[in-house]
Amino acid sequence: MSLFKKKSPIIGLCLGGGGTRGFAHLGALKAFEEYGINFDIVAGCSVGSCVGAMICSGKGFQQIYDIAKSLEVKDIKRNKIKFMPSSTEGLEELISNNISYKNIEDLPKKLFIVSVDVKTGKEMVFDKGDLAKIVAGSCAVPGVFYAVNYNDMTLVDGGVMNNIPADVLKKNGCDVIITVDVNSARGGGTSSDKFYDIFLASISILMKNNSKQGYEYSDIVIKPDTKRFKSTKLDGHEMMVEEGYNATIKLMPEILKLIKNKRYRLWKRKKRKLGEK
């Protein structure tokens, strides 16, 4: 019997933010599919919430890749004035046009999406509500997109407070947490003196500091080398997929061993409990 057809621990997948570097998430997904690794729960932030929504709707690597590779920057960012924030209509349409489920709770697989409500200054973790609106809110990088008004909240990119939401998976009972960080080189600063570049670099530094907690809650962190790609450009998307795939394949022996050992420990624990009765 295949390893992953036996009773398994609850496996969580954490998908971090990183803009268009999110193509590397797809490479990781391709590797997971090749080895038959299925995730019970997904937590996503920013572009990770978008990819996570696709995964939890039942789409596989090839389906998501076909959608993503056909995109142009103008499909997502629709600002008519350069350097001005864009509405999130393109993000919302990306979700609503490709996923038939209206609400997060309707998805076949459990999904948590992290955003920030700037009205209260609180991190928001959604597992219910309007999928397209909440994904857009999680992706709404300040200065790049306008905030998303949803119910009584004003939502911006979850990376402002929790760019690697592995803690969400831990709090919701995951036995194994595998994280894909497609922007591990964040916080490197910029040599440019342009206002927009300095602003984005400042956001990146902020996200680097709040990503540390996510590493601590993860059992394994996959870190594709995406430093040479811009998080706002689609150039090199095939290479980003390849980087995600290679980084995951490199850690696959460790991932398989972790899942196997966790299954054995859970079996031993259950056996001890039965013996006590």
Residues labelled catalytic: 46, 157
Pairing mode, strands 110-117 and 176-180? unpaired
E strand spans, 49-147 = 110-117, 122-126
The rounded distance, in Å, linking the Cα atoms of 129 and 19 is 23
DSSP H or E segment with residue 148: strand 148-150
The rounded distance, in Å, linking the Cα atoms of 24 and 77 is 20
The rounded distance, in Å, linking the Cα atoms of 69 and 234 is 9
Helices 61-69 & 47-56 angle (0-180, nearest 10): 130
Q: Are 237 and 68 in contact (CB under 8 A)?
A: yes
Exposed e or buried b for every residue in 238-261, given b needs 16+ CB within 10 A?
A: ebbbbbbbebbbebbeebeebbee
DSSP state of 4: G
Three-class SS state of 167: helix
Greatest CA separation for the chain: 70
The rounded distance, in Å, linking the Cα atoms of 198 and 200 is 6
159 vs 114, 172, 186, 190, 195, CA distance in Å? 8, 20, 12, 19, 21
